[in-house]
């Protein structure tokens, strides 16, 4: 069987998009911010007793340090330099309870499930080991991929629109550090993966349309030429398999 180009696009783009979205979902790099903090002197972060989770810095050792805060859907990280110290922990507090974060988590998980199911259906529908594909099954898999893409794009839109307001009431050192949060690398991977899922799903949906079989001038009422009856297509039975629909 000669697999249609639309099916090839679907079974290539969709798994790649699924991998990118899954990688972004488990990475604590949806948003990040940097700030320079005063370690010594009046009003410093150490004098005020606001020590970051699990990171110990001796008073008087440094004059200033760089604070890097990053958050994901299920994990947050805090890095200080110098010295190079990094600590990660599961999301908690107001950030974890924020309904917009919970919405993004639910939409992302549902998107991954739908895309995985769509890929399974697409593999069953393409049936490269058979002469004829199951076009309806492949198109159903493409529809699930499109829905998965829409869900992940919705999650990304909600998160990016509220990125500077998610759980900040629990950010105890935000007022002193003036930490400005912006989209991080994982979100760009998720955007790319969602677009690839959309392309793969649309390509598989287009494969639902049957290709037109060539007709024989000698017998135009037939969808394909019987073997040996048409001078133009007298190529034995192998040609019949190529034009079968």
pLDDT above 80 for 30: yes
Extended beta strands in 39-173, E state: 64-71, 75-81, 85-90
- Mean pLDDT is lowest, of 68-77, 99-108, 216-225, for 216-225
- pLDDT, tens digit, for every residue of 82-139? 667 888 889 888 888 999 999 999 999 999 999 999 999 998 888 766 667 788 898 9
pLDDT-above-90 percentage for the chain: 38
pLDDT above 80 for 151: yes
Q: What is the DSSP string of 55-81?
A: ----TTS-SEEEEEEEE-SSEEEEEEE
- Mean pLDDT is lowest, of 65-79, 165-179, 210-224, for 210-224
What is the overall mean pLDDT for the chain?
A: 77
- pLDDT, tens digit, for every residue of 200-216? 999 999 877 655 555 55
pLDDT above 90 for 15: yes
183: number of Cβ within 10 Å: 16
Domain 5-206 class in CATH: mainly alpha
In this prediction, residue 86 carries a pLDDT of 81
Question: What is the Cα–Cα distance from 67 to 83, expressed in whole angstroms?
Answer: 11
pLDDT above 50 for 49: no
In this prediction, residue 160 carries a pLDDT of 92
Query: In the chain, which segments carry CATH 1.20.140.150?
Result: 5-206
Q: What is the DSSP string of 192-203?
A: HHHHHHHHHHHH
- Residues 6 or more apart whose CB falls under 8 angstroms from that of 36 comprise 64, 65, 66, 67
Six-digit token string for 44:
């410093």
Closest Cα to residue 193, out of 159, 158, 160, 156? Answer: 156
Closest Cα to residue 30, out of 185, 162, 150? Answer: 185
Q: What is the pTM of this model?
A: 0.72
Using alpha carbons, list the distances in angstroms from residue 142 to 148, 176, 202.
10, 50, 6
């Amino acid at each position: 069987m000669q697999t249609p180009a639309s099916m090839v696009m679907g079974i290539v783009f969709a798994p790649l998009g699924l991998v990118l979205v899954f990688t972004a979902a488990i990475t604590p790099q949806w948003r990040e911010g940097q700030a320079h903090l005063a370690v010594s002197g009046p009003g410093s972060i150490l004098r005020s007793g606001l020590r970051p989770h699990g990171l110990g810095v001796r008073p008087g050792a440094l004059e200033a340090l760089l604070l890097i805060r990053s958050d994901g859907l299920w994990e947050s990280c805090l890095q200080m330099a110098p010295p190079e110290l990094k600590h990660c922990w599961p999301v908690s507090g107001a950030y974890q309870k924020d309904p917009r974060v919970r919405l993004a988590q639910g939409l992302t998980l549902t998107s991954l499930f739908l895309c995985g199911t769509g890929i399974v259906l697409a593999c069953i529908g393409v049936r490269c080991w058979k002469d004829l594909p199951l076009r309806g099954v492949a198109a159903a898999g493409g529809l699930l991929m499109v829905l998965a893409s829409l869900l992940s794009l919705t999650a990304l839109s909600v998160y990016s629109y509220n990125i500077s307001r998610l759980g900040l009431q629990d950010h105890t050192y935000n007022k002193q550090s003036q930490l400005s949060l912006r989209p991080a690398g994982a979100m760009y991977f998720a955007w790319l993966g969602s677009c690839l899922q959309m392309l793969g799903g649309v390509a598989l949906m287009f494969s639902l349309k049957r290709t037109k079989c060539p007709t024989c001038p000698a017998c135009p009422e037939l969808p394909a030429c019987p073997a040996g009856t048409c001078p133009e297509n007298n190529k034995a039975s192998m040609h019949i398999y190529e034009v079968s629909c």
